[in-house]
Chains A and B, each alone.
Chain A
Amino acid sequence: MGLALPISRLLTLITVLTLTSLSGCVQTIPEDLVEALESLDRDLVAERAAEFAPDEYTRFARQWVALKARVQADEDLIRWPWEPNRLETDLRHLHEEGTRTALEVAHRKDSQRLTAEERLNRVEQRLQAMNTKIVEIDGRLVLGHKPVETELLVKQARSFFDQGQFARALNSADHAAQLLGAQRATLNSELGRYADQDRINAWRAMARRTIQWSRAHHASAIIVSKADRILTLYKNGRKVLSYPVRLGYNGIREKRYQGDGATPEGQYHITHKRGEGHTQFYRALVLDYPNANDRRRFKLARKAGRIPLERNIGGQIEIHGVENELMGQTLGCIMLDNPEMEKLFALVEMGTPITIVGALHSQNAVALALADIGDQEEET
């Protein structure tokens, strides 16, 4: 009996010690660590981590899902005192990795935003500059649908940027830049002759011959430069007057057929003089367009399929006055303000030669505009 009590006490002591020891081994996961991870995940979702750092976020999400399952299962909570709490260690490692992912997301997002913003600003500036140049040389119609398509893409890029869709904004801005390049190529193809030295030399030779004719015949002759929009009257080979003119609504182009709005280039003569009351345009000098050269060019172009079969060569090209102040361009004629038309009308006669050229010098407005547009493209 005397021995039984100490054994009973000893057993009680062992039980208490065991329970105390075991309770010391029950390890809990710090709640704030789990909450911190949950908060980190929410931040990553809000920052669209899956979009900006997909690999990193997928890795984080996979681990977080696995660890959350372990936390909920409570499996790792009971350990021997000498064992480390692996779940807590893993959670801490994941928190560190998640923090690194968050930094990476912020860095990539910022980098994409800056790149997209820079590219978008550049393409917007380039679009604006190109539009200004196109208006200066009346080259808008040369480009057809292209300007509106480009503008839509730039607007689309801006819209994506405002929504934080930087990759898409960048993509649209790059596409718009390509379309601007295509616009430049079209302008060069249609108007490149204004920058072609051989062509300019040929136009200069035409003008020289006209002036020489004026000198040799002691008569008047007219030279019109389309690029400079200037009409010059010569008498006895000497410049008498120079007036600004307006051309066809598509005047900068080479005339191809009736209704194209282009002003023809070539050597013509006055075939009729229409005074006041005989024209709707105050006074008019009728030209012999189309001449033999124009007919030959028209036939060749039609044969080559560059002119639709239903189109005619056109006619009634004149130098005339202004019907009303609202009329900005003609349908292909050369238009002067009425006081200037009156003076010119008085100084010329039937048969006076009229030479219409694209440009007379290499630094003409169209060539300079094309060069500027090219420079802008190289800069971007």
Chain B
Amino acid sequence: MKSTIHVRGIAAVMLLLLAACAKPPTEQIDTAEKAVKDAQQSGATAYTPQDYAKLEGMLANAKKEVADQDAKFTLLRDYGKAEQLAASTKAEAERVKAEAEKKKEEAKTAALQTLQVAQEAVKATQELVAKAPVGKDRAALEAIKADAEGLTKSLGEVQAAIDGGDYLAAQAKAKAIHEKSQAVSTEIQNALAKISAAKGKHSQPKKGK
């Protein structure tokens, strides 16, 4: 009678031990999921979209493995593979996050450099506008002034795009400003050359109107 109780007790303990060993890796899956989310928030969907798609696949795979084991009879469950998958998903998520952050930083640096070039070009244009004499082809000069003001205003939009993290748009706009600024400067230089050729021969028009 006593030995029967012993056997039953041992069997119960073994079952409990087995059940305890086959615990689903909830924490590891949660950690992996958080790492994937971090990667997404770091800009992986924009900067490393293919890597991010695979990362989602890895996470889904790990979760599926847990679900497959959950569906098995308690004593046959083995979450070892699920743990491995969760760990590799986390590691890959960290790599993707680092890669996305690197690419994002590169894009930011490129956008800031392009902005600086555009700022210098607009400054040079404004200096030329200030040198341009009033009178003569006044309509053209007034139009150039309006363009220079528009270019200055647009520099603010580039900064806003950088602040908003849209570095691609910032770079494209800054590049456009640079090009247009150079075209305006060339226009002013041509006008100045034309005017200086006639300088000394004629006086300025009177004020009023």
Interface contact A149-B138, CB-CB below 8 Å: no
Q: Are A156 and B172 in contact (CB under 8 A)?
A: yes
> With A144-B146, A329-B137 as given contacts, are A58 and B53 in contact (CB-CB < 8 Å)?
yes
A152 CA to B149 CA, complexed, in Å: 13
**Complex partner residue of A58 from B56, B140, B143, CB under 8 angstroms:** B56
Beta-carbon contact of B61 and A326 below 8 Å: no
Using A152-B180, A159-B175, A329-B138 as known contacts, say yes or no to A316 and B198 having CB atoms under 8 A apart: no
Q: A61–B139 contact, CB under 8 A?
A: no
Tell yes or no: B85 within 8 A of A by CB. yes
Total A-B pairs in contact (CB under 8 Å)? Answer: 160
Bound form: Cα–Cα A45–B177 in Å: 32
A328 to B191, CA, bound (A): 12
Q: B57–A66 contact, CB under 8 A?
A: yes
Q: Which residues of A contact B203 (CB under 8 A)?
A: 280, 323
In Å, the complex CA distance between A58 and B59 comes to 12
Q: Are A62 and B138 in contact (CB under 8 A)?
A: no
Say which residue of B50, B60, B135 sits within 8 Å of A44 (CB atoms). B50
- Contact residues in B for A148 (Cβ distance below 8 Å): 146-147, 150-151, 154, 180
A150 shortest CB reach to chain B, Å: 9
Rounded to whole angstroms, the CA-CA distance of A140 and B150 in the bound complex is: 13
CB distance from B6 to the nearest CB of A (A): 39
Contacts A69-B61, A141-B143, A329-B138 known; A248 to B150 CB distance under 8 Å?
no
Which of B52, B154, B205 has the most chain A CB atoms inside 10 A of its CB?
B205
Asked whether, in the complex, the Cβ of B209 is within 8 Å of the Cβ of A261, the reply is yes
Give bound CA distance, A58 to B175, whole Å: 34
Query: Nearest chain-A residue to B197 (Cβ)?
Result: A326
Cβ of A215 under 8 Å from chain B: no
The docked-state distance in angstroms from the alpha carbon of A328 to that of B135 is 9
Q: Counting CB contacts under 8 A, is A330 at the interface?
A: yes
Q: Which of A12-20, A49-57, A76-84, A118-126 contacts B (4 or more CB under 8 A)?
A: A49-57
**How many angstroms between the C-alpha atoms of A151 and B179 in the bound complex?**
11
Nearest-CB distance from A135 to chain B (Å)? 9
Which of B49, B56, B149, B207 is within 8 Å of A145, CB to CB?
B149
CA A145 to CA B64, docked complex, whole Å:
58
B interface secondary structure, majority: helix
Most chain B beta carbons < 10 A, residue from A61, A281, A332: A61
- Measured CB to CB, the nearest residue on chain B to A144 is B146
CB interface residues, A 88-142, toward B, < 8 Å: 138, 140-141
A316 near B202: Cβ-Cβ < 8 Å: no
Query: Which residues B92-148 have CB closer than 8 A to chain A?
Result: 135-140, 142-143, 146-147
B58 within 8 A of A: yes
A64–B205 contact, CB under 8 A?
A: no
**Complex Cα–Cα for A49 and B51 (A):** 11
- Asked if A156 contacts B176 (CB within 8 A), the reply is yes
Q: Does A227 contact B (CB under 8 A)?
A: no
In the complex, which residues 51-84 of chain B have their Cβ closer than 8 Å to any Cβ of chain A? Answer: 52-54, 56-58, 60-61, 64, 81
Chain B residues whose CB sits within 8 angstroms of the CB of A258 once the complex forms: 208-209
A43, chain B: closest CB distance, angstroms: 11
Q: Can you list 23 A-B contacts with CB-CB less than 8 angstroms, sorted by A residue number?
A: A50-B50, A51-B49, A57-B50, A58-B56, A61-B53, A61-B54, A62-B60, A64-B54, A145-B153, A146-B150, A149-B154, A159-B175, A172-B172, A248-B209, A249-B138, A316-B206, A323-B203, A326-B194, A326-B198, A327-B135, A327-B137, A329-B138, A329-B139
**New A-B pairs, 6, CB < 8 Å, besides A61-B56, A326-B136:** A44-B50, A61-B54, A63-B57, A147-B150, A155-B180, A261-B138
